[in-house]
Structure 1
């Protein structure tokens, strides 16, 4: 979240568990990326309905492939009031699942979720490790889950879950991909949710990829209604994993896009809520690249 990491990281919570989500698979259209370090790698994208209600959009990987990453983008009205609060790879169902929810004030217009899944024949050593934070009122929350020794984190996702609420009362702010772990962070919307909430996390692990490189790119600090940034893989490499975060949003800035936007780029976008935000903030995009 913030660059003042010592204060935030001191407030981490720790627990272990897993994540489960219900889902309905909608229509899909496939976009094929060039062959890369994982032979047969493709990006599949599915577009959900445009309505004014909470919705889950799943993208299923083709037969013979496994989900190794993914993300989503929101389109339509009221984007600063709609949260991408659940973005998780579900290994058992071989899909990437994303849920968008409106804040407690609701949105008058329609909006849609488009979900992307990075799919490939199982890379060597593929496994998914999950975790769960404590369910309480501590704000903000952080949860980091590591891969087994010798394996690298190539993808993942997280969920911010408010107990007993169907609205975007808590925001998923960070999905940071490190060398062998993933960290997710959540924060209460506006800092004023009175109930208990938790974080779920899933980390996609595999043996090191050929030509593997990791990079992050930041937007400029500012107080704009919306900001975006794109991380671009070096020449000769392709995107194999994605991540992103909001830095300094204080629960008033929501992620509206975190996904692979081409075979070589990852784009992260966020928007201030309907009240605006007087402080400065930025977004950061992470890309796991390989030849």
Structure 2
């Protein structure tokens, strides 16, 4: 069972404000920037979105449907949140694709919040286990405002299943994909942290449980905007993967997340949940 203070249950819609002992900080200004990789049928594809001068990364997003599109054969391997840029990399899965494809990487950038830091945590196992979790934890007195992930050593044979926030931690988990792998691999979680911004809260929208691709869209509460987009696949166990985590409208208050089954599909039912960290 996931031990997450932000999870209330897989069948509920959550829009809960989580509190800390830190004094709320002043409001921040955010902008979204993006970068696009090349579009062809080679791998891997990488792109880096860089914040404007004087701004820092609070979170990131991506799409693997750039170009002709992802038919279920492209896997997002990393979304690395640095202090001023977000780098994403994707690989084709075990049987690849002849289609031309590319990725788009997004950075959510803000004026630097007080106490800004990025923390990382690595999965305990580095062998060829089927499933690996990782957790990154903020320094005492700080809250999560965004996060990222990085799989090392798998080269498309591992699927990132979740990027989940609690008030002080970011949880990520990865599964070996349909063909498995004999390679030794591991996963890192990234937590972007700061003293609690004004209006800070974590919101969640639970998507339907079906055996087909899905998109779930969620808007931050009135008067707040997205700092850190996140997601959670449930029940797919490596047979579905993220297609996109897309910051939405120009006001910076909405995110859509999308996922596909891999290209040989699955008869199992699975879900896609949209998580966002919002603030004034």
Q: Please state which band the TM-score falls in when normalised by the shorter chain.
A: 0.7 to 0.9
Which ranges of structure 1 fall in alignment gaps of 5 or more residues? 7-36
Q: 1:274 aligns with which of 257, 263, 271?
A: 263
Q: 1:84 aligns with which of 68, 76, 83?
A: 76
The residue number in structure 1 matching 2:95 is 105
C-alpha RMSD of matched pairs (Å):
1.7
Q: 2:64 aligns with which of 74, 79, 83?
A: 74
Output the CA distance in 2 between the equivalents of 1:48 and 1:57: 5
Query: Residue 58 of structure 2: SS of its match in structure 1?
Result: strand
The residue number in structure 2 matching 1:206 is 194
The residue number in structure 2 matching 1:122 is 112
Output the CA distance in 1 between the equivalents of 2:94 and 2:86: 26
Query: Residue 79 of structure 1: SS of its match in structure 2?
Result: coil
Output the CA distance in 2 between the equivalents of 1:219 and 1:119: 27
Output the CA distance in 2 between the equivalents of 1:90 and 1:213: 22
Output the CA distance in 2 between the equivalents of 1:38 and 1:60: 22
Which ranges of structure 2 fall in alignment gaps of 5 or more residues? 4-25
The residue number in structure 1 matching 2:215 is 228
Q: 1:260 aligns with which of 218, 233, 247?
A: 247
What TM-score does the superposition give when structure 2 sets the normalisation length?
0.86
Query: Residue 178 of structure 2: SS of its match in structure 1?
Result: helix
The 4+ residue runs of structure 1 with deviation greater than 2 A are: 37-40, 76-79
What TM-score does the superposition give when structure 1 sets the normalisation length?
0.83
1:191: how far off? 6.2
The residue number in structure 2 matching 1:159 is 150
Alignment of 1:2-81 (within 5 A): 5=2, 38-53=27-42, 54-75=44-65, 76-81=68-73
Q: How many pairs does the alignment contain?
A: 253
Output the CA distance in 1 between the equivalents of 2:71 and 2:86: 21
